Amino acid sequence: MELFSVENPPIMLEDLKEFEAALGLSLPEDYKAHLLAYNGAGLKSTEVFFGYMDDGINLYYFHPIKYGNSLQSGKRDYLPEKYICIGCILGGYLAMSLDEQTYASIYSYYSEVELEYLASSFTEFVDGLIDYE
């Protein structure tokens, strides 16, 4: 079952290259493939969780590269250097590390609370999503 829906106009490889150049960092290949397919993504269900419904992370959407609530405008106030906000969850946000030590790891965070590790890659995070609807 497909979890994601296209919510924004598509982007091209050149858009990704421009974004990476502006960041001065390289995005993981699996995440770039997702962005090229969806440019962020909405969800087809409101009951998509990473983990169990009772204590898991309820995913709302992934930020696009361009258009709408883009990665450039994502919630970055509390993130360490070389981390980007890639999406929204119930009461918080998703972050991806672009730091050499933890490259591609996915974290949740809420306001000034520390990052909570979720997965070692974007693919691992997506593979862990469950639609309880």
Domain of residue 79, CATH code: 3.40.1580.10
Report which DSSP code applies to 24: T
Residue 26: which residues within 8 A CB-CB, separation 6 or more? 20, 98
Token digits of residue 49? 């969780």
Domain that holds residue 75: 4-131
Q: What is the identity of the amino acid at 48? A: V
Count of domains for the chain: 1
* pTM of the predicted structure, to 2 decimals: 0.90
Q: 38-67 pLDDT, tens per residue?
A: 998 988 888 999 988 887 899 999 999 887
Q: What is the identity of the amino acid at 40? A: G
List the chain pLDDT tens, one digit each, 133 residues: 588 989 889 999 999 999 999 889 999 999 999 999 999 898 888 899 998 888 789 999 999 988 766 555 555 667 888 999 999 999 899 999 999 999 999 999 987 778 999 999 999 999 999 999 8
Computed over every residue of the chain, the mean pLDDT equals 88
116 closest CA partner among 34, 91, 61: 91
